[in-house]
Amino acid sequence: MKNICVVLILFITMFSCEFQTNLFDEASAKVDPLAPVIISDNLPLINSAPNTFYVRVGFSEKLDPYSVNTDSVLVENNFGNKINNINISYDSSYNEINITGVTDSNYLTRGSVYTVTLTKDITDIAGNNLEEEFSDTISIATSPQIPGNTSIWTNNYNNGYFVEDGDKIYITFNENIATSLSSAIIISKTTFTPSPSFSGITVEISNNQLIYTIGDVGTNADTYCTINLSAGDFSSAVDGTACQAQNVSFTVMLKAVKN
């Protein structure tokens, strides 16, 4: 009887071990069976600079960083020719692939459209390939310009676009700019309607931003900003290309607040 019990215990133990082994083998085979998918992107990118642009594509999970390279992330011209000097990186903190322009002076051609493709060779850390190939476009502007009426804010923009004494108003171009215009001429090309009696305004350029610092706000008023540019008022800080003529009436309301 004792021998029978020993044999039975051994059998149960072996069966239990085999069951556990099979169970864990099966579980390991089922770890992360899902393909990574794209959950966000900022494409198509319009009015980009010829040398610096910021493409970002977000994923549902962490990627194998070695799978993010110039073979799996492509930028091609209209003829299908691959651009080889693109700066590509992977940000594991946000699960994003970033393309941040070219890495030498062979800039993308102004006025051209390029196709960005992410191939299925991109994998997650478990080795699953991207679910679907992805592609969209980058449009390179013919000249420096203000991309649209959302390209304005203030340092109080989180507080309803307030403008108080000493505040700054930022107008953003599509690329880094330069100008030979004086502050007075730039201010003459900028109107606020209705007028909030801004005074003591100074103007500076920082990279791709035209920055107005308001010395004094004379009256409380809700105001809209319009800027009227003549061709050549500004130029590209990269290649000297003159800006196009533009008349931009921003739809964002600035709230001038007298102290």
142-182 residue pLDDT tens: 999 999 888 999 999 877 899 999 999 999 999 999 999 99
Report how far Cα 207 is from the mean position of its chain's Cα atoms.
17
The pLDDT of residue 31 is 75
The pTM is what? 0.79
How far apart are alpha carbons 54 and 48 in whole angstroms?
9
31-89 residue pLDDT tens: 788 999 999 999 999 999 999 999 999 999 999 999 999 999 999 999 999 999 999 99
Give the residue from 42, 43, 38, 41 showing the smallest Cα distance to 61: 38
Phi and psi for 219 in degrees, rounded to 5? -140, 155
* Domains of the chain and CATH, by start: 38-140 (2.60.40.1220), 152-256 (2.60.40)
**For the residues 5-19, what does the mean pLDDT come to?**
44
Mean pLDDT of the chain: 89
78-126 residue pLDDT tens: 999 999 999 999 999 999 999 999 999 889 999 999 999 999 999 999 9
